[in-house]
Structure 1
């Protein structure tokens, strides 16, 4: 065994010699400059033994070249069988050629002989020569067919590294392999490389999107849409990116994207409206105006938003102009059109232009699948069109009283939420219906020509309203406006003690605005003064009215509150002060108010101002010829 070991020792010795050839000689070193004859003979013997164990390869380069050129000539002529034959002959003439070996393997693949091709490709891969991405790709594809997963992956990676990931075909084949072995993480990386090369073709894009969504990689999804938009210019991709940013609450990034938009395409409009919800108040208004007037996103939906915001901040004239300008152009966009309709309903209702309010409420109902039907009923009631309001309210009442979830959602996690929403809808119907009944009762009570049947209807309305308010209150006693409606309705039914208990509870509630509190104080105070049961109650009512005046010195209710104050002073016998207070009221505003003329006439009469009292009662007579105070005053004079 000495000669086998010597071969290994000799290799190490030669390596050592090479490593140390430049080092200075030391006296202790062995002298290796000369070999003995015996050493030379031994080295020669070992070399011959090694050579004898290697098969000798016969190479005929001249023949190989000749056959190769013949193969190429046949290929150019389209004679592929002859070309394949000459390729094999060329490789046989030079079996050391890596290039020829892989060429033969490729032609075996084309002939459908995959097993033989893999054998030849394996042999060729061990030969010297230039290693190419195509060679690695061939091995990878052949190993795929052979089902050798580890080898597949190895050669795919080597091929892609060799081509610096520029070989699109190889990338695609690798992605198919990764799909087969379900390596989703690596597949996402490969699709990310492949997609830009195929211009984000839909099939691959959707597959990448699906993978990222399944893996919960939301940020990567957003980036994918952004890259697709940058590559293709498709605004739908940018829209999806903004939606993703909004869903992830990355509002600043979403706004930054939208800030670059400069056209009036539907996607630009939708993105602009979308981000406005994340921008606070005044900033949103400024952003919307900038997009519309400066950046060219001049669309009716953006203009509608501007109008909506102006309505919210009480710029009603400007809001009306913008909403009217947008509404007719939003016919194909019911979602935005309905916003404009609702804004216009509120504006026209506040102007008491009920014809226009009804017009837009009906339009809203037509595009909202009945979601705004309660609003329509409310507007009908405001316009005294009770014959239209009550049938709608009856149908809504029946629907929400008997509402039940569909059988398919009985066990749904959303069941509780659905029941709560149904309960809210039912309470809304009770609220609107009770107010409509009370509104009609008020109209009847003011009607001087109302007969006994109509007066009985007014009482019936108030009784039905009370029942509905009681149902509401039983479900939710915290709703202060409902309690106020109950208190006022009971007062009109002359059930004073019940009414006043509700008023006392209302005065303890903290959520009233100053305006609401002033109105409540005045109503309660005036009621105590008007029924005039005891001096203590009158004095209490007077003090409540003074509190209302303190809260709203210059508000729209000031004249009414001054009238209540004067009436309180009258009830307490302080006629001079009462008259002075009445003179502070703007009589032009109260010219159609019969209560004002009744009070003024009574105070003037108490002071002995007969001519002035007569004039006041004359005005009251024109408004209400059968008013008890008129009949009493003029009857006494007769």
Structure 2
């Protein structure tokens, strides 16, 4: 991006052709005529004739300096460099104090590749004429390659003499940067900008210096200034967008690349970057769209492979397969491509095609651990378990520390209730390599179940469900509890598994079987306990909220944030009116306040009643009111109704979620649109009604984060 107008010196120096000052004897007669004939011959391209005439002039008058210049060039043009250099040396010896000849010699020697001689000639010219800026510039440019310190000194002299020369300061800055004097270079580039504010090259050069120093924020600022001067510069836009990406400022990177896309919508590089940015935020549909644009312009293996990945994440396995088929078509001998095509066929349950692809990959790359492992998985699913064992063992032989392969084979043995001692060895080897892996712990628990060691099995499976929320693991835990005759807890485990896999027929059968073994009263109490268990796992909660309130016919709406820490601390901060731009509701244990304090007397009692309902739901205290033998209940399908005096509650037994809590006609709190968050059910909408006060409050929760550590002062009193 940087242009250097002085690096390539114009070595075609202007040689002034003028008649030489012959001696009085030479002027008379043949010398004069020979020189004229030489000039005419040279101009008509008859160089050999010109040389002959110039040589004759020198014979007649050895001091005719200008003739040596013409002779030097004529020999060079004839392709006789040695004679040309001899003529130049002669010229130097007879005209050491002639500035024009020394300047000529500098240009000639540079053209001939004699850098040292060129520098010597210009230095002589500079001694003869200290104000000769042309000689100074030539010396600076000539020194840049092999003596940057000297170049800096020459350019320093030049800008001292010509302080208004932006080009001089630019070359001075380049020389300083090359010498590693970055601060001095930055100052010189800044001087260029002060003299020539439109100099994009200077801004870019300063940015590059900041990059060398690791000052990337400052570098970006300079690049942005360059873009202000030239907003259509695609090269610059691409570089700055890439720099933002490397700095992980993905929003700024995307903004730059979108600008570039407006300039050139068909630029494949821009689409590729935008696709990568979409991939980073896991927006697979957008990533696929951009990479589709790239693939239309070029059939690139890497692009097609990545596009196939996006399609697979979108569960569009047919398109993923088509991409990988194109990859193999482009590179049939690419082992990795054949392997990936095998995975795609496996996902589509095209086991025979997958087998063919995997085998081709092994032909191309016999030592391919991943292929052996996936062949094992393929044969296991294809009900060809003896072959699966063969390939699992090959994968393990290639890498005895392949914990996933060790566990997979061990679990497969345990699940088939065969080779249990070998399964034990394999699973424990996997756990030695990855002790906290929930799937591996589940395998151990299931192996212990197969061995009839139910108490040990339950312990391991309980540890597994704490590490991984997977329906199979919860189902295993339910099976073990059934073996221990712990039907009520088995019921809980099966329901949790069904939450994670609602379509599982086997789970539904097990749940129906357990339902018959559990008394109705116990069922209702278990549903209550399940709801409590869901909520007491929430130690803290943070969320963005929209709060809408209606009192009589008046209504208000505001955005804000809600923070809660178990058991009784919460803070709701809302964007208020112009007079009160921020309203904070704060409860720290038993102390409740509203800020600004001027509002406290007006809204404190009502707001506390509203938000106590939400707080008492989160800490599960309202549920505990119904955990009593005197509580009556009824069942309607999957819905359980509980009644305790003037209070009632509704629980969905399928998910274990509270749907409504009511206190006579004074308070009704409804919990709607439950979603899973970190394996726990939470409502995304809460509605509070105070019928006697004609108040309705709706709270919508977004971006909910649970169980993160909060600052100690989160629930401290608000300072005025």
TM bin (shorter chain): 0.5 to 0.7
Match of residue 562 from structure 2: none
2:457 is matched with which residue: 548, 557, 578? 578
Match of residue 328 from structure 2: 397
Describe the shift of the 1:96–1:285 C-alpha distance in structure 2 as closer, same or farther (beyond 3 A): closer
CA distance in 1 between counterparts of 2:483 and 2:39 reads 124
Match of residue 384 from structure 2: 495
Task: Tell me if 1:523 matches 2:408.
Answer: yes
Describe the shift of the 1:328–1:117 C-alpha distance in structure 2 as closer, same or farther (beyond 3 A): same
Match of residue 214 from structure 2: 286
Describe the shift of the 1:192–1:552 C-alpha distance in structure 2 as closer, same or farther (beyond 3 A): farther
- Provide, for residues 462-519 of structure 1, a one-character-per-residue CA deviation record: whole Å limited to 9, x for no partner: 221111001101110222222222121122112222222222232344596xxxx333
Task: Tell me if 1:167 matches 2:100.
Answer: yes
- Provide, for residues 589-611 of structure 1, a one-character-per-residue CA deviation record: whole Å limited to 9, x for no partner: 52xx3312321221111000112
CA distance in 1 between counterparts of 2:30 and 2:354 reads 94
- Provide, for residues 254-300 of structure 1, a one-character-per-residue CA deviation record: whole Å limited to 9, x for no partner: 98889957699589869989x99xxxxxx989365563357978854
- Structure whose residues are more often strand by fraction: 2
CA distance in 2 between counterparts of 1:354 and 1:141 reads 68
Aligned residues: 442
Unaligned ranges ≥5, structure 2: 1-18, 42-48, 123-132, 159-164, 194-198, 228-235, 518-720
Match of residue 285 from structure 2: 355
Counterpart mapping for 1:377-388 below 5 A: 377-388=308-319
Counterpart mapping for 1:312-351 below 5 A: 318=248, 320-331=250-261, 337=270, 340-341=273-274, 343-344=276-277, 346-349=279-282
Aligned partners of 2:237 and 2:257 also within 8 Å: yes
Counterpart mapping for 1:74-473 below 5 A: 104=32, 108=36, 121-122=57-58, 125=61, 131=63, 133-134=65-66, 136-137=68-69, 154-161=86-93, 162=95, 166-167=99-100, 171=104, 260=185, 265=200, 286=214, 288=216, 291-292=219-220, 300-309=237-246, 318=248, 320-331=250-261, 337=270, 340-341=273-274, 343-344=276-277, 346-349=279-282, 353-365=283-295, 369-371=299-301, 372-401=303-332, 423=333, 426-440=334-348, 458=349, 461-473=350-362
CA distance in 2 between counterparts of 1:500 and 1:300 reads 54
Aligned partners of 1:288 and 1:305 also within 8 Å: no
The structure whose RCO (Cα within 8 Å, separation 6+) is larger is: 2
CA distance in 1 between counterparts of 2:388 and 2:71 reads 94
- Provide, for residues 113-172 of structure 1, a one-character-per-residue CA deviation record: whole Å limited to 9, x for no partner: 99998698457526xxxx463364467689999999998765543324415684379948
CA distance in 1 between counterparts of 2:59 and 2:412 reads 109
Aligned partners of 2:494 and 2:510 also within 8 Å: no
TM-score (normalizing by structure 2): 0.48
Name which of structure 1's ranges 301-310 and 101-110 shifts more when overlaid on structure 2.
101-110
Unaligned ranges ≥5, structure 1: 1-83, 209-218, 243-251, 277-282, 311-317, 402-422, 441-457
CA distance in 2 between counterparts of 1:434 and 1:290 reads 48
Q: In structure 1, the residue corresponding to 2:281 is in which secondary structure?
A: helix
- Provide, for residues 16-55 of structure 1, a one-character-per-residue CA deviation record: whole Å limited to 9, x for no partner: xxxxxxxxxxxxxxxxxxxxxxxxxxxxxxxxxxxxxxxx
- Provide, for residues 275-333 of structure 1, a one-character-per-residue CA deviation record: whole Å limited to 9, x for no partner: 99xxxxxx9893655633579788544544445546xxxxxxx4533542443244479
Match of residue 475 from structure 2: 598
CA distance in 1 between counterparts of 2:146 and 2:507 reads 81
Question: Which structure has the larger Rg?
Answer: 1
Q: In structure 2, the residue corresponding to 1:167 is in which secondary structure?
A: helix
Deviation at 1:529, TM superposition (A): 1.2
Deviation at 1:521, TM superposition (A): 2.7
Aligned partners of 1:438 and 1:489 also within 8 Å: yes
TM-score (normalizing by structure 1): 0.53
Match of residue 368 from structure 2: 479
Aligned partners of 1:308 and 1:340 also within 8 Å: no
